[in-house]
Structure 1
Amino acid sequence: MQPLGDAVKATTYLDFDDRREDDYLDLSTSLIKRFGYNHDDISNNYKLAEQIARAYQAGQTLPSPYTSPDDTYYRGGGVRQDMVGYEKFDYHLLPHLTGSTTVYGHYDRGPGTWSDPYDPTPASLGGSPLSVSTTEYRMQRESVLTSLAYQRWNHKIEAGFWFENNLFSQAAKLYPLQEGVTPSNFQRFYENPFAVQWQYTFRTHVYQFHLEDSWSITPKLRVNAGFKSLVSSSSVTTAQSANPINASISASNGFLPQVGVLYRFNRHHEIFADFARNMSAYTASASTGPFSTTQAGFSYIHNKLKPETTNTEELGYRFRNDSVQASLTGYYVDFENRLLASSMSSVIVGNQNVLENVGSVTSRGVEAAATWRFFRN
């Protein structure tokens, strides 16, 4: 953090992470009944994984007790690197006028890995009956968000704008494994695939404007009210696929109101109520959302889809003293145009999804929470 004169403060932030992990095997009721709750990948037995794949590909009986190459795998997991950075400027322009502007970027890459018993490694590249199947992704986001706040008398009025450009690519690729040689480093970034099954590039532009007023009507009563306008436009282009899709879709809503009321009886007790209307933009991805289908499938649903929206209402009570914080909240959420992606087969077969609006869903309930600090430490 660096002051730039008396009126401006600059904040620079940078974060990096590097993740490598093995995942547990997905279990079904059938697998649990046959193998028990401790059933998992066979990452300590590469030879057995090759035997299962080789038997399946030759149409032979699999090594007991396995009856399908999907009963277990050698390994599967995820590799990921993220770098996030921003530069933020907070400024005090006039006695009652303040603001901030943030420019940020996010770079992300990684594959999800899986020892594939269906696609053997070519003999010239190692000859294993297994290969490494990856779903790879890269994401690059650049954005700016800025706001101004004017505070005078009992009002704080704020207006702001957010823009983001999101470039996201996904690909399914196959990498070679050496026959009879246990991989020394399975969870890693791979290069030089021997096959690319599909590869797509997605671009999303988000524009959002908001205006709000925080009005302290009395020392005990405060009302927050405002709205936001949101436009999200996404497109997809196909680099390689047996089911190419090149399309675009937008979700927009010019008026999404929000209002909240807070009343403090004293420094220990307060009640609150609020209402918010929100809209969810469409997901731009090969695995979910309106683009996770064929060109014909997208053409069929394009003019029929509507973005999901919610109306959320809350009413609650909060208590606070030196040792106890407690709250009791009742809520009601009404989903409109709920989207559901229906898979036409088991996921591993790779058939495209069918996305459709399935009507409304309501959710209502009560939430209670309490924290007790019984000693200072």
Structure 2
Amino acid sequence: DLHQYLYQDYSLDILHNGGYYIDNYYNGKSSGYANAYHAAQGNYPSYLNGVSDKADAAYYDGSSNINDYFGYLKGDFALTDRLRWKTTVYGHGQKTLLTWSNPFDSSPNGAPMLEQVKRPSIARYGILSSLNYDIAHNHIEAGVWYENNRFLSSMYGYEQPLLGQGSPINSVGSFSKLSPFMQFYGQAINTNTFTAYAQDTYHILPNLALHFGFKSLLNVSHAGNAYYNTAYYGNDAMAGGVGLTTFRAFLPHISGDWHFLKHHELYFDIAENVHAYPQAQFKTAASPFAVTQSAYDISRPGLKPESDWAYAVGYRYSDKFMDATVHAYRVNFFNRLQMISSGAIINPQTIVANVGGITMNGVDAGLTIRPLRGLAFTNSLSYNHSTYDQNVQSGGMLYATKGAQVVAYPQLMYKTALSYTWHDLEAHIDASYTSRRNLSYTGDTKVPSYWLTNFGTRYNLTNFLKSSGRGQFVKGLEIDFSVYNLSNSHYVSTMGENGFPLSGDYQSFLVGAPRQYFGSVKAEF
């Protein structure tokens, strides 16, 4: 189970003109609801004076409540000394409540806001089965996977009280005794997925192996008849009575690994992949079904399953004193589906569009040296150049996305870490750098780069207790202390939770956590 209050989404406007510490009004006291109530009436706190969109800068609250149920039955049978059969049958259910206080619409009692509650649920059942066979220098494997997934998505409005006339809704509590006064939408999507694969790893020599395999995919999704509140949204409908199919009969994968000298290794990997159309709640992700019927009809001619060809080569070195890696890759994406968003995040305008191809080229390099016993110094560097291959046309306008870095992808990432172990004491400090990232598809808005530093130490008292004669009842005792974001840096973490704009600013990222201290004591008896 997960029950938590959510942080408010940020825009560059809120970040630059409101500051790093703006959040929703909820504070566990009546004053939090009073402040949100007054803001919904247009009386905003002074700290929002510089923000252009004060209404969306803070709501009363937002929360996430998730209940998962999972069960499986697994069988592993040695049919012969060379042949093994593995099968797993599973079921997974999930019920979710996602809430926001909506200051743009009133409750029936006259309160200037309502509680907006999304109620998505998942019920999926599947089976995985595989055969493994070893003969001579070959390891052969073949298998299948089938799953049925029923995804229900709906949203309701609940009444909030007049100020001073009752307690506001506890958004992380139970809604079982509450009745909504309206439904915004409802949709059911049923998906069947079937995958089959076969692969063989051939050990030509003890130090040389080649791998070849392929998989086939059939994915069929259908959105049934949907409910759409035209009195609230206007004259349209939710995407319903429509279906999409993803089918690929042959998706090859070939790789090789060669230990050509002691400590030295070369490898390569080539694969084709396809991504089935995803499921998502209304206006929340790049699912073709999570839009209005008119938006679906506009995007339908250009909808194709996203696919890619990925190529990689690399080198590894490993010995007692040093580990080194270099990994280079290229990925060509075709028919990338992205959600394009505009408007207030409570009720955004969204469309899922085929933005064409993406070309990704990158290099990862890492080096760890161990000059002294217990001491390790690690450095890693990642460079990624991912750009759109075409411009995007939307709403009668052409947006210059060709050559722009893919949204939310940093071009450069660097990490360094120093760790030391002395007897039962361990300590480490690490720092990482992330370069700026595009917020818009055209790249005219970006979030800044940042450094992040962490520190941690751990002491195992087990040997001390045993040597001092105090460990009769304690098998193990360990103390751990760490500091996250040691320098208390201000930075942007998650991006795109509400989609990305074609151009300009949008309220769709979260600021990172401030300096935090963690401590734990672990005991074994």
TM-score after normalising by structure 1:
0.86
Give deviations 1:153-189, integer Å, cap 9, x for gaps: 0111111100011111111111122223443732234
Residues 1:281 and 2:264 aligned together: no
Decide whether aligned partners of structure 1 residues 39 and 184 sit closer, same or farther in structure 2, where only a CA change above 3 A counts: same
Amino acid at match of 1:282: Y
Which stretch shows the higher mean deviation, 42-51 or 323-332? 323-332
Which of 309, 312, 315 matches 1:314? Answer: 312
**Unaligned stretches of 5+ residues in structure 1:** 1-17
In structure 2, what is the Cα distance between the partners aligned to 1:370 and 1:193?
A: 57
Question: Secondary structure at 2:277's aligned position in 1?
Answer: coil
Q: RCO (CA 8 Å, sep 6+): is it higher in 1 or 2?
A: 1
Residues 1:30 and 2:23 aligned together: no
Which stretch shows the higher mean deviation, 265-274 or 331-340? 265-274
Amino acid at match of 2:255: G
Shift of 1:110: 1.1
In structure 1, what is the Cα distance between the partners aligned to 2:156 and 2:225?
A: 15
Which stretch shows the higher mean deviation, 288-297 or 360-369? 288-297
Amino acid at match of 2:357: S
Aligned to 1:262: 257
Residues 1:84 and 2:70 aligned together: yes
Amino acid at match of 1:363: M
In structure 1, what is the Cα distance between the partners aligned to 2:246 and 2:139?
A: 30
In structure 2, what is the Cα distance between the partners aligned to 1:246 and 1:48?
A: 44
TM-score after normalising by structure 2:
0.63
Aligned to 2:198: 211
Structure 1 runs, 4 residues or longer, greater than 4 Å off: 61-67, 370-373
Conserved 8 A contact 1:162-1:207: yes
Which stretch shows the higher mean deviation, 315-324 or 357-366? 315-324
Which stretch shows the higher mean deviation, 264-273 or 152-161? 264-273
Aligned to 1:175: 158
Conserved 8 A contact 2:66-2:94: yes
Conserved 8 A contact 2:123-2:149: yes
Conserved 8 A contact 2:212-2:255: yes
Amino acid at match of 1:174: G
**Unaligned stretches of 5+ residues in structure 2:** 231-236, 376-420, 425-525
Which of 287, 290, 312 matches 2:288? Answer: 290
Aligned to 1:190: 175
Decide whether aligned partners of structure 1 residues 73 and 91 sit closer, same or farther in structure 2, where only a CA change above 3 A counts: same
In structure 1, what is the Cα distance between the partners aligned to 2:60 and 2:191?
A: 36
Which of 329, 332, 339 matches 1:331? Answer: 329
Which of 43, 47, 69 matches 2:26? Answer: 43
Aligned to 1:12: none
Q: Tell me the number of residue pairs that the alignment of Structure 1 and Structure 2 aligns.
A: 351
Identity of aligned residues (%): 31
Aligned to 2:125: 142
Conserved 8 A contact 2:10-2:57: no
Shift of 1:355: 2.5
Decide whether aligned partners of structure 1 residues 79 and 334 sit closer, same or farther in structure 2, where only a CA change above 3 A counts: same
Decide whether aligned partners of structure 1 residues 340 and 184 sit closer, same or farther in structure 2, where only a CA change above 3 A counts: closer
Residues 1:368 and 2:365 aligned together: yes
Give deviations 1:207-254, integer Å, cap 9, x for gaps: 101011110001110001010001111111244213132211111111
Conserved 8 A contact 2:203-2:209: yes
Aligned to 2:338: 340
1:153-172 counterparts in 2 under 5 A?
A: 153-172=136-155
Shift of 1:299: 3.6
Give deviations 1:343-365, integer Å, cap 9, x for gaps: 354443343x3323222111111
Conserved 8 A contact 2:222-2:244: yes
Give deviations 1:327-374, integer Å, cap 9, x for gaps: 2111111111222232354443343x3323222111111112345663
In structure 1, what is the Cα distance between the partners aligned to 2:7 and 2:295?
A: 33
Amino acid at match of 1:187: V
Aligned to 1:99: 85
Conserved 8 A contact 1:160-1:210: yes
Amino acid at match of 1:29: L
RMSD after superposition: 2.2
Aligned to 2:96: 110
Amino acid at match of 1:30: D
Which stretch shows the higher mean deviation, 67-76 or 317-326? 317-326
Amino acid at match of 2:205: T
